Amino acid sequence: MKGVDMATDVLVSGQPGSGGSGATPPRAFLDVRDLRIHFPTDDGLVKAVDGLSFSLDRGKTLGIVGESGSGKSVTSLGILGLHRLGGTRVSGEVWLDGEELIGASAERVRSLRGQRMAMIFQDPLTAMHPYFTVGAQIVEAYRVHNKVSKKAARQHAIDMLGRVGIPQPARRVDDYPHQFSGGMRQRAMIAMALVNNPELLIADEPTTALDVTVQAQILDLIRDLQEEFQSAVIMITHDLGVVAELADDILVMYGGKSVEYGTAETIFRRPEHPYAWGLLGSMPRVDREVRDRLIPVKGTPPSLINLPSGCSFHPRCPYVGLDGIPCRTEIPTLAEGSDHGVACHIPPAKRQRIFSEDIAPAL
Amino acid sequence: MINFILRRVVTSVVLLIIISVVTFGVFFMVPKLAGTNPAELYVGKSATPADVAATARKLGLDQPIYVQYGRFVKGIFVGREFASGTNVNHCPAPCFGYSFRNDRPVWPTLIDRLPVTISLAVGAAVIWLLGGVLAGVISALRRGSILDRTMMIIALAGVSLPIYFTGLLAQLWFVHDLHWFKGGEYINFADDPFGWANKLFLGWVTLALLYAATYARLTRAQMLETASEDYIRTARAKGLRERSVIGKHAMRSVLTPIVTVFGLDLGQLLGGAILTESVFGLPGIGRLSIDAVSTKDLPVVLGVTLFGALFIVIANFLVDIFYAVIDPRVRIS
């Protein structure tokens, strides 16, 4: 349970006031500390990510789950330094293999992008340039970080396309993105992201735009390639089924904050945050009997400009105000549970009882 | 691709036929319906009815309109004869008839004027394309800055100010007051390239200002739209330098609509820039057309109109082909 230890360790050091633990433990390969990404708009300041901390080792997968607008994608763009420029305020620390990126020069971060950290986007049709061939786009990604001849780069691109399971790669390399099917296009996108053997791979809803049969193939592919390259993978999704298959650790985001963070085992077996319960209840399961209906999380995601006071989940939480706890006034911190962090005012013992007595039987 | 080109050629030809029917109809039938005989326009008001009738016969204007149109088309492709009494006048192909005013054949007149119009249009096009696109890109990249706002105000002024204002002002300052440029007659490029450029320069700039403004605004809007595309984010995620993200990935998408508009604008200008040619005293096609209209010189008006239409149709054709070449999605489907 190395993942568990790591998560606990991170959560401890992430707590305010608990940092003075003497000798600094070696940092994880990716270590994100109190990341905040705010951008001003005409309507007010959008706090897309507000104090997020997590860490990830090589060869491990972190699943970030949450609804649309919970700050998942902005987090990944923030790590890569791709958040919208011009007025965007970023603070906190992002350590990649011991190097801090938030304070690094734009040129330094650029040279790491695509080289040591790469990203797979949600919709491969819009994410690839319609006017350039797939091969040309992969070659470009390779040559910007490697001084090789065009011919060698092209051969490498063909190899990569073959490796991600595209048949007849030597022929398909000269096709345009629109000539690929959805699944093949996402494979090409993955080939492009992996062309420099990145140590950190961020996949932002990589299967959302694909049909179900192809989804599983793409997830298998990402897992196989991860084993081969020993990359750290961040899998961003709103689909718990996806992370159930792949993730070692899971971070549940709500309103730009982390509300629950622990190993995948913990989050699926013993979740403690009412929002995580809601997500589990709304997930279709094939390993159980078919229920009549999925149970949605009631209400709508909060506005990131005017977050609800106190716990930002309180307007949607069925346990709000239980035993007079101050849900509406005090912001809960990601307190440490037995082996995972939960940002909830309900006392841990009570949460665990509610889950085992009321929630789990209904799932 | 061959199929695509052939289809485009056929549509272009059909379009030209329709244009010729309509323009011919307008110029030779409408006067008739309004009660004037086109022959009267040729011989003048003081002529006797007998003279008018003789002229009408000589020009074939006494024939039904479809016969006239048939002869006109025949003249364009194989030439035609105009007979007055025993005198037979052969007009070689492509024959657009003779001017009512100076009896010169229309086609050679057009060809004479063409170099002037081409010089003006192409020179201005180079300036506005480079200037407009550059200004638009800079504006988009520095969105919201003083530079962006200043350029967009200049662009707005450029679109709003008419040629006969900017052109006359430019002549007043740079020719009359400052003597930076010489006035006077148009000079052929072959005779004196410097004189040619000197004479055309203000015309180029004035005309270019009008178009550059439009292009700057178009480029800016296009660039801002493209900048938010997913594939631009992908380009950055690959670690490309900002220079290639903008210069290669974004520009490729920005230039597509610019080229379309550019083809059509240039095609239209080759049919004559009436205002610019008039203001700067350039004897081009535009000047010819305005002179022909004011003297009711029907064959010249018809010739100029068809000539202009020809350029626009050709420009359209080329733009379509170009589109298919640069956008792979058009080529395949």
| CB pair distance less than 8 Å for A129 and B233 | no
Residue A96 has pLDDT above 50, yes or no: yes
The pLDDT score that the predictor gives to residue A7 is 41
The reported pLDDT for the residue numbered A176 is 93
B28 pLDDT above the threshold of 80: no
Per-residue pLDDT band at A84 (split at 50, 70, 90): low
Is there a domain that residue A95 lies in? yes
Least confident among A60-74, A161-175, B35-49: B35-49
Pair B124, B269: CB distance under 8 Å:
yes
**DSSP code at position A356:** I
Place of tokens 């005409």: A42
A80, part of any domain: yes
pLDDT one-digit tens code per residue, B268-323: 888 888 888 888 888 989 999 999 988 888 889 989 999 899 999 999 999 888 88
Tell me, yes or no, whether A156 lies in a domain.
Answer: no
Q: Would residue A231 count as lying in a domain?
A: yes
Shortest CA gap B138–chain A (Å): 16
Edge-to-edge strands, sheet with A341-342: A117-120, A200-204, A232-237, A61-65, A249-254, A257-263, A341-342, A335-336
**Which residue range is the domain that position A87 belongs to?**
2-116+198-267
Q: Does the pLDDT at position B186 exceed 70? A: yes
pLDDT score of A291: 57
Q: What is the pLDDT of residues B111-136, one digit of tens each?
A: 999 999 999 999 999 999 999 999 99
d(CA A29, CA A79): 13
* Interface contact B245, partner A, CB < 8 A: no
Residue A157: the pLDDT is: 95
Do the domain assignments include residue A317? no
User: For the domain B106-332, what is the CATH superfamily, name and number?
Assistant: MetI-like (1.10.3720.10)
The ipTM, to two decimals, is 0.83
Comparing A85 with A303, the larger pLDDT belongs to A303
What pLDDT score does A20 carry? 42
User: Is the pLDDT reported for residue A53 higher than 60?
Assistant: yes
Q: Structural domain tally of chain A? A: 1
Chain B positions in Cβ-Cβ contact with residue A138 (cut-off 8 Å)? none
Identify whether the C-beta of residue B163 lies closer than 8 Å to the C-beta of residue B210: yes
Which residue is closest to A112 within chain B, CA to CA?
B239
Chain A partners within 8 Å of B253 (Cβ) = 129-131
The whole-number average pLDDT for the span B19-43 is 80
d(CA A35, CA A46): 14
CB–CB contact B237 A121 (8 Å): yes
CA distance B239 to chain A (A): 5
Q: Region A156-173: what's the mean pLDDT?
A: 92
Interface mutation target, options B141, B231, B327, chain A, most CBs of A under 10 Å: B231
Is residue A166 situated within a structural domain? no
Average pLDDT over residues B28-57: 77
User: Is the CB of residue A271 less than 8 Å from the CB of residue A65?
Assistant: no
Residue B233 to residue A82, Cβ atoms within 8 A: yes
Averaged pLDDT for residues A338-359: 83
Beta bridge partners of A89: A38
Residue A300, judged by CB atoms within 10 A of its CB (0-12, 13-18, 19+), counts as exposed
Q: Which residues of B touch A119 (CB under 8 A)?
A: 237
pLDDT at A287: 63
Tell me, what's the pLDDT at B30? 75
pLDDT class for B43, splitting at 50, 70, 90? Answer: confident
Contacts of A178 in chain B (CB under 8 A): 328-329, 332
Average pLDDT over residues A258-267: 90
Mean pLDDT of B224-251: 92
User: Using the beta-carbon criterion (under 8 Å), do A144 and B231 form an inter-chain contact?
Assistant: no
> For residue A192, what is the nearest residue in chain B, using CA coordinates?
B238
Chain B contacts of A193, Cβ < 8 Å?
A: 237
CB contact (8 A) between residue B240 and residue A144: yes
Torsion of CA A269, A273, A279, A284, to 10 degrees: 20
> Residue A3 pLDDT more than 80?
no
Q: What is the pLDDT of residues A18-49, one digit of tens each?
A: 334 445 667 889 999 899 999 888 888 889 99
Question: Tens digits of per-residue pLDDT, B204-234?
Answer: 999 999 899 999 999 999 999 998 899 999 9
Is pLDDT of A10 > 50? no
CATH of the domain at A90: 3.40.50.300
Any chain A CB within 8 A of the CB of B255? no
Confidence class of residue A17 from pLDDT cuts 50, 70 and 90? very low
Chain A contact residues (CB < 8 Å to B): 77, 80, 82, 110-115, 118-119, 121, 123, 126-133, 140-141, 144-145, 176, 178-179, 192-193
pLDDT higher than 80, residue A270? yes
Give the per-residue pLDDT at A203.
92
pTM flag (> 0.95): no
pLDDT tier, A170 (very low <50, low <70, confident <90, very high otherwise): very high
Query: In chain A, pLDDT over 90 holds for what percent of residues?
Result: 36
d(CA B5, CA B25): 30
Chain B residues in contact with A140 by the CB 8 A cut-off are 238, 240, 244
In a domain? residue A323: no
Minimal Cβ distance to A128: which of B231, B244, B329: B231
In this complex, how many residue pairs, one in chain A and one in chain B, have their CB atoms less than 8 Å apart?
75
- Please tell me whether the peptide bond between B94 and the residue prior to it is cis, using omega within 30 degrees of 0: yes
Render B190-225 in DSSP notation, one character per residue: TT-HHHHHHHHHHHHHHHHHHHHHHHHHHHHHHHHH
Higher pLDDT, B222 or A298: B222
Share of chain B above pLDDT 90, in %: 32
Q: Does A19 fall in a domain?
A: yes
What are the extents of the domains in chain B?
2-91, 106-332
- How many whole angstroms separate alpha carbon B246 and alpha carbon B236? 10
